[in-house]
Chains A and B, each alone.
Chain A
Amino acid sequence: MNESSLMTNLAGIELANPVLLASGTAGYGLELDGLLDMSRLGGLILKSVTIEPWAGNAEPRIWETTGGMLNSIGLENIGVEALIEDVLPRISEIGVPLMASIAGDTVRAFARLASRLESTGALAAVEVNVSCPNVERGGIQFGVDPNATAAVTTSVRENCTMPVFVKLSAAASDLPGIADAASRAGASGLSLINTVPGMAIDPVSRSPRLGNVTGGLSGPAIKPIALKAVYDCFRATGLPIIGGGGIYDAGDVIEFLLAGATAVSIGTATFQDPARATKIVEELPDAVTAAGATTTAELVGRLRTPRNASKGKR
């Protein structure tokens, strides 16, 4: 098995392999200088940016939980102009496809961000973050409402020609319905899933562990939720999906491909080991072989569902 077995076409973007660094946990990429060979990645999704810099939420912002962690960063970021001026020229040198992640509290903000970022010519795609659980306005409120999701998607679609990936939350009561709304509004693909809303409490002081009281759960604990979200949305829309949520090794990547993801994103595992994503790339060919395939592409959506599978026989 050679490296060409990992070649991935993600909504027209050619990736050397399907492994991306997820938005948020890899910052602007530059911070990982020297700790992993980023040229070995399939691509990099930058931390979400807004039009103006955002200061983020009150401390404490993180709390480790069994098999994962809670965060309530609150989209702290340097703002789109600083991203364009200070980050893009340097991070573009890696030579792998870069995706920007955009967030905002109005439909118009998303449109402006998409158009401004496309003008740099440095990006392969844009990820539309309508699923952050940690901001008062403009996060998950968009992503759990099919009309709002469609409105944001349409405005981004109309203001840039790059592929548009809409990042959704598994907290939506009808996720496949939201995914379908994004698809009809012109999304090129989906990114699944954002962190799952959650909280932790100190039983002695009776106070929440996070300054913002609630946060978003990530890490291996949410992998089953993420897999089902990918599985459901792939069946509902057939769109290319960037799947992620708790991926820790190459076996996890195969599971996401089988559920219907075309590419995957590595998030919280980067904290355990900054080089985890490239280790996964190295392990991936063997995992593909173990799954009885010769390429990652041929595993996408090829879950073997038992013939007698049914829901609630009576």
Chain B
Amino acid sequence: MPSWRDHLQRLRVAEHGPALVRAVVARNERVAARVCVLDLRLEEDVPAPSAGQFFLVDCGGGREHLLRRPLSVMGYDPAPQPALIFLVEVVGWGTRRLCAMQPGEKVGLLGPLGRGFGAPAGRFSLLIAGGMGIAPLLFLSHELKSREQACDLIAGFRDSGQVFGGRQDIGSPNGVCTEDGSMGGRGKVCDGLAGRLSEFGYTSVFACGPGGMLEETARVCAAAGVPCQVSLDSRMACGLGMCRGCVKQGAGGANLCVCKDGPVFDSTQVFD
């Protein structure tokens, strides 16, 4: 009988399960008052992440701050040495620690985790980002463009302290607005969405951002008959579907395990 270890190894290869790896901070750049871009060079290989997947990042809190922070992948570069790019907004202890990291510091990662974005319906996608929700959508836009699939990315932020306009190597949004008008147009990113959908003939929508924004996007898309995928955010502990800490109630009262079944869901699974 094969050993359990062999068995696990096979499972891991077969399912491209997540890995526990160490990474080194290659670059940490402050891109807005509260936001930084963290470039990590992986010391070991991980299964290639797809857009919408995330990693749990050990912020080095030891016993005092035990939980890893979930961060969506904003960019992945497999060669010459695999590297991951994350977007981090200072919210609490962990994200403050990550934004203060210096090049050369080591970070523990668990991932890639969760289910990323599915294939778009039709030929022209609209990507709608709210706040740090821009991170997985920049990755998606990069993926779609590399497959020569057309897409537009629009991004909304609370205020200029949060605005991230993208980066040359991963792309940038086609339009930016802020709720307080401190940068770009004034308003919310899904204002006028119904008109935009019909005017440009988008065949698919992908959204990531605050709950209210996702709900509004889902509602407009449902009315327009455009398929919509949403990426949810939740407090989480294990990232593996075992603790049930991130579970949210979806359409019809069903339990949605954000870390394992998501974070990306079809909007009809999430909103009634």
| Binary A-proximity of B8-37 (CB < 8 A = 1, otherwise 0) | 110110000111100000000000000000
Contacts of A56 in B (CB 8 A): 244, 247, 255
Q: Mark the stretch among A9-17, A19-27, A237-245 that contacts chain B.
A: A19-27
Provide the residues of chain B in CB contact with A270, threshold 8 Å: 238
Q: Quick check: A34 and B9 within 8 Å, CB to CB?
A: yes
Q: Whose C-beta in chain B lies nearest to the C-beta of A58?
A: B249
Does B20 contact A273, Cβ atoms closer than 8 Å? yes
Q: B55-70 interface mask toward A, CB cutoff 8 Å, 1 = contact, 0 = none?
A: 0001000111111100
> How many angstroms from the CA of A67 to the CA of B238 in the assembled complex?
17
A34→B11 contact, CB < 8 A? yes
B70 to chain A, nearest CB (A): 12
User: Which residues B218-245 have CB closer than 8 A to chain A?
Assistant: 234-238, 240-245
B158 / chain A contacts, CB cutoff of 8 Å: none
CB of B176 within 8 Å of the partner chain:
no
Complex interface residues of chain A between 255 and 291 (CB less than 8 A to chain B): 268-275
Given the interface pairs A61-B244, A71-B245, A273-B58, the reply to whether A34 lies near B235 with Cβ below 8 Å is no
Q: Mark A191-222, 1 if CB is under 8 A from B, else 0.
A: 00000000000000000000000000001100
Q: Given the complex, which residues of B lie within 8 Å of A271, measured CB to CB?
A: 66-68, 237-238, 243
Judged by a CB distance under 8 angstroms, whether B40 is at the interface is no
Task: Determine which of B108, B237, B240, B244 lies in contact with A32 in the assembled complex, contact meaning CB atoms within 8 Å.
Answer: B240
B147 at the interface (CB under 8 A from A): no
Q: What separation, in Å, do the CA atoms of A63 and B234 have in the docked complex?
A: 11
- A26 — which chain B residues lie within 8 A by C-beta? 242
Task: State A270–B237 Cα separation when bound (angstroms).
Answer: 9
Residue A35 CB within 8 A of the other chain:
yes
Contact indicator A274/B240 (Cβ below 8 Å)? yes
Q: How far is the CA of A159 from the CA of B56 in the complex (A)?
A: 43
Bound CA–CA A123/B17 (angstroms): 27
- Please state if A33 and B11 are interface contacts (CB–CB under 8 Å): yes
Bound Cα distance from A220 to B248, whole angstroms: 27
Interface centre among B5, B11, B65, B244 (most CB of A within 10 A): B244
The answer to whether A63 and B11 have CB atoms under 8 Å apart is: no
B residues near A67, Cβ cutoff 8 Å: 63-64, 66
Q: From known contacts A25-B243, A69-B237, A73-B244, infer whether A273 and B4 are also in contact, taking CB-CB under 8 Å.
A: no
Which residue of chain A has its CB nearest to the CB of B17?
Answer: A34
Given A31-B241, A31-B242, A32-B242, CB of A272 within 8 Å of CB of B58: yes
Does A59 count as interface, using CB distance less than 8 angstroms?
Answer: yes
Whether A165 is near chain B, meaning CB under 8 Å from some CB there, is: no
Judged by a CB distance under 8 angstroms, whether A248 is at the interface is yes
Q: Per-residue CB proximity of B202-226 to A under 8 Å, as 1/0? A: 0000000000000000000000000
Shortest CB distance B131–A (Å): 18
- CB neighbours (8 Å) of A93 from chain B are 4, 7
Decide yes or no whether B3 CB sits under 8 A from chain A: yes
Instruction: Name the CB-closest residue of A to B255.
Output: A55
B67 touches A61 (CB 8 A): no
CA distance A113 to B197 in the complex (A): 54
Nearest to A62 among chain B residues (CB) is B245
A94 touches B242 (CB 8 A): no
A76 within 8 A of B: yes
B246: CB under 8 A from chain A? Answer: yes
Known: A25-B238, A93-B4, A268-B66. A73 touches B245 (CB 8 A): yes
B20 and A35 contact, CB distance less than 8 A: yes
Let me know if B110 is at the binding interface, CB within 8 A: yes
Q: Is A146 an interface residue (CB 8 A)?
A: no
Contact string, A58-83, partner B, CB cutoff 8 A, digits 1/0?
11111110111101010010000000
**A142 proximal to B (CB < 8 A):** no
- The distance from the CB of A67 to the nearest CB of chain B, in whole angstroms, is 6
Contact A37 B63 (CB under 8 A): no
B242 touches A59 (CB 8 A): no
Structural contact, A248 and B63, CB atoms closer than 8 A: yes
Report the separation of the CA atoms of residues A159 and B65 in the bound assembly, to the nearest whole angstrom. 42
Chain A residues within 8 Å of B11, by CB: 33-34
Q: Point out the residues of chain A lying under 8 angstroms from B64, CB to CB.
A: 66-67, 220
**Would A59 and B63 be within 8 Å (CB), given that A37-B4, A39-B4, A94-B4 are in contact?**
no
Cα of A266 to Cα of B88 in the assembled complex, Å = 30
Task: State how many angstroms separate the Cβ of B223 from the closest Cβ of chain A.
Answer: 27
Contact indicator A64/B20 (Cβ below 8 Å): no
With most chain A CB atoms within 10 A of its CB, the pick from B18, B63, B68, B260 is B63
**Residue A157 CB within 8 A of the other chain:** no
Sorted nearest first, the 8 A-B pairs with minimum C-beta distance are: A27-B242, A34-B12, A31-B242, A62-B245, A220-B63, A31-B240, A271-B237, A272-B66
Residues of B within 8 A of A (CB): 3-5, 7-9, 11-12, 17-20, 58, 62-68, 108, 110, 234-238, 240-249, 253, 255, 260
Could you list 9 examples of A-B contacts with CB < 8 Å? A24-B243, A26-B242, A27-B238, A38-B4, A39-B3, A66-B64, A71-B237, A269-B66, A271-B68
A residues adjacent to B (C-beta < 8 A): 24-28, 31-35, 37-39, 47, 55-56, 58-64, 66-69, 71, 73, 76, 93-95, 219-220, 248, 268-275
Given contact pairs A31-B260, A34-B8, A34-B18, enumerate 18 new A-B contacts (beta carbons under 8 Å).
Answer: A27-B241, A27-B243, A31-B238, A31-B240, A31-B242, A34-B17, A35-B17, A37-B4, A47-B242, A55-B255, A56-B247, A66-B65, A67-B66, A220-B63, A268-B66, A271-B68, A272-B62, A272-B68
